[in-house]
Amino acid sequence: MSRSSAFVPSGGRGRSAQAMRRVQALPVIEISRDEAMEFWAGVMRRRCGNPETCAVMFGVTVQTARNWFTAFSRPHIDVVLQAMRWWPDDFSGADLGQGR
């Protein structure tokens, strides 16, 4: 049996006013795809030094590491999460979008 997709009116099964006040909004980091790639390239250049070392550290091909170094592409989330574990200071938010 399917349920109605209509919006529940005020006083219906929706959230209480008290529950709505507890909702928290996370800050939004405004960063474009190009800025994200530049940011990642900067982290790789600072922390790995060269594409060959980067390839070994992250288990990728040297060509993939070169693409990261030149901001041609960016990695999958598992690689980003590993980098965040190794170098949390680089992901503190202060430098995001700066391409340093």
pLDDT in tens, the chain (100 residues): 556 555 555 555 566 666 666 667 777 778 888 999 999 999 999 999 999 999 999 999 999 999 999 999 999 999 999 999 999 999 886 556 544 4
Helix (H) or strand (E) holding 69: helix 62-69
Q: What is the pTM of this model?
A: 0.65
Is 26 strand, coil or helix?
coil
Q: Which of 50, 49, 37, 22 is nearest to 80 (CA)?
A: 37
Contact 70, 42 (CB under 8 A): no
- 10 Å Cβ neighbour count for 70? 13
* In the block, residue with structure tokens 């340093």: 100
Tell the burial category of 91 from Cβ atoms under 10 Å away from its Cβ (0-12, 13-18, 19+).
Answer: middle
Q: How many residues in total does the chain contain? A: 100
**Tokens 């800025």 — which residue?**
35
